[in-house]
Structure 1
């Protein structure tokens, strides 16, 4: 280093942030909070009002839309103890779990291929095939599956017994939810450390062991986020189970609609709250699992760094 450069480096002083800068930052945050507060308060008030209204309807048995009615817990007993309603609840959870597992299992290799394929036209074709269905209505896609699985359809001979049965509903829901499962996995696969799989291969790990001990643990947050999103969308699905189920496969969202049509307001309100409670419970469990995965990853990275 020359004498002039040495003198310049010696004169360079890192100045701490001034109080004026901190005040400016706090002022910007206050402005942002002030802009967000009206919209957030509006959404909170509307959401709480709807929840309270549903609660008021669920604790009654009188078939009326009046806000004031005798308090009764018989509707909740019917929603939680009746064999038909319990069957609807079990079908909703079973379909949600199966669709989540199948969708994430299909989305994972798709996300991997989208980031690893070298030819641009192959990547473009995969992106078009996977994400273009989002631009089409769910009702249209469901009718398309009805044509494929119905009489004269391309899949009628192989899967002829699936239309108006649970396997057909699951197949259509996997197709509907697949793009939403790929998004979180793409971000997780993209953040993989470069050369980690090659290093594992150099150390003698087989492809299965690389998948089990390296790839899956590093992309676990994306898997959890993908499963969380797919399950939430599946348990609240209405159009696809209604069309593909043909009245033989009934889920909670469909049952709520049917009860509203029959003016069974209390039971519809109780089932709507039950669906919301299930979704929130499962999402909270996924959040807890995501935190556990993050802690384990940080612990592992800290141990490797030491």
Structure 2
């Protein structure tokens, strides 16, 4: 039997008040569940940042929460060429580690995503993620043995690596590699095989398929991996300290040294500068990713 809803142009009945309340309840439930954790993290982060900012606006270290504002520490830091040089070294090492890690992680993640399961996949994942199970200090001392003058790598390397920037970069790439492979492998595993098959059927060669199909579809994983590796590399302390041997100075080492000397104002200034640089670079990655995604969507229209 026909109803009013079957008539042309008929509009569906509006949701009842209980239905709207139930829908709002379902929508608000996830936010209610994460509110305690978010509130706790914000409280800890905001409190810590306020303390760091407070110490950076002092001239001498003091345990008092309120002290006279003094910008001399900031002025001394911003006008000292040595600190700018250390910041440049820190940023350069982090970017070098990002580039080299992605170059190694991308084909590794592609191979693992094609394996998907089996004994070989399990063995490869175990070997790849095994460095994460070892202390960073133990890993650093292992690289010291490998890069030493009488080590196996120094015998075939034309340049000195230990206590130089190159050795620090090599060790950091080894440390950060698993953190780059995981997001890349996750994105690549969701890439449909029929997309590559369609590109091959249309006459695209391997290079063209990679540049026009695989790389654009896996770009979110590349950006995520770059962000994780950069955030971990720019704040690394143990690896640059041990493999740099005091010759390779990074900002995290200066922060540690100033805290040990109870020079809290200078350490606070350096920590804020390191945080600002990290957030700026990470935001730049996000902007580039959005622009690439926008241009890709425009190209598909």
TM-score (ref. length: structure 2): 0.87
The answer as to 2:112 corresponding to 1:114 is yes
Q: Is the 8 A contact 2:55 2:61 kept in 1?
A: no
Structure 1 pair 26/203, CA: closer, same or farther in 2 (3 Å)? Answer: closer
Q: Matches of 1:288 and 1:85 in 2, distance apart? A: 28
Q: Is the 8 A contact 1:57 1:265 kept in 2?
A: yes
Q: Matches of 2:171 and 2:119 in 1, distance apart? A: 27
The answer as to 2:207 corresponding to 1:220 is no
Moved more, 103-112 or 54-63: 54-63
Partner of 1:202: 201
Structure 1 pair 19/154, CA: closer, same or farther in 2 (3 Å)? Answer: farther
Q: Is the 8 A contact 2:116 2:189 kept in 1?
A: no
Q: Matches of 2:103 and 2:220 in 1, distance apart? A: 15
* 1:146 corresponds to which of 144, 147, 164: 144
Secondary structure of 1:62's counterpart equals coil
Q: Matches of 1:254 and 1:16 in 2, distance apart? A: 64
Give 1:19 deviation, angstroms.
Answer: 4.5
Secondary structure of 2:193's counterpart equals coil
Partner of 2:185: 186
Moved more, 128-137 or 194-203: 194-203
Structure 1 pair 99/199, CA: closer, same or farther in 2 (3 Å)? Answer: same
Moved more, 71-80 or 102-111: 71-80
Gapped runs of 5+ residues in structure 2? 1-5, 7-11
Q: Matches of 2:256 and 2:289 in 1, distance apart? A: 33
Give 1:288 deviation, angstroms.
Answer: 1.7
Q: Is the 8 A contact 1:218 1:297 kept in 2?
A: no
* 1:66 corresponds to which of 55, 64, 69: 64
Partner of 2:3: none
Moved more, 31-40 or 76-85: 31-40
Partner of 1:92: 90
Structure 1 pair 225/39, CA: closer, same or farther in 2 (3 Å)? Answer: closer
Give 1:199 deviation, angstroms.
Answer: 2.9
Structure 1 pair 193/82, CA: closer, same or farther in 2 (3 Å)? Answer: same
| Number of positions where the alignment pairs a residue of Structure 1 with one of Structure 2 | 290
Q: Is the 8 A contact 1:62 1:69 kept in 2?
A: no
Partner of 2:100: 102
Partner of 1:7: none
Alignment of 1:156-195 (within 5 A): 156-159=154-157, 161-195=160-194
Q: Matches of 1:78 and 1:52 in 2, distance apart? A: 21
* 2:55 corresponds to which of 51, 54, 57: 57
Give 1:15 deviation, angstroms.
Answer: 9.3
Secondary structure of 1:263's counterpart equals coil
Give 1:44 deviation, angstroms.
Answer: 1.4
User: Residues 67-103 of structure 1: CA distance to partner in whole angstroms, max 9, x if unpaired?
Assistant: 3333221211222221111111001100010000000
Q: Is the 8 A contact 1:65 1:265 kept in 2?
A: no
Secondary structure of 2:166's counterpart equals helix
Structure 1 pair 16/144, CA: closer, same or farther in 2 (3 Å)? Answer: farther
Q: Is the 8 A contact 2:254 2:267 kept in 1?
A: yes
Give 1:54 deviation, angstroms.
Answer: 1.0
Gapped runs of 5+ residues in structure 1? 1-9
Partner of 1:238: 237
TM-score (ref. length: structure 1): 0.86
Secondary structure of 2:160's counterpart equals helix
Secondary structure of 1:219's counterpart equals helix
User: Residues 187-210 of structure 1: CA distance to partner in whole angstroms, max 9, x if unpaired?
Assistant: 221222323333333333332222
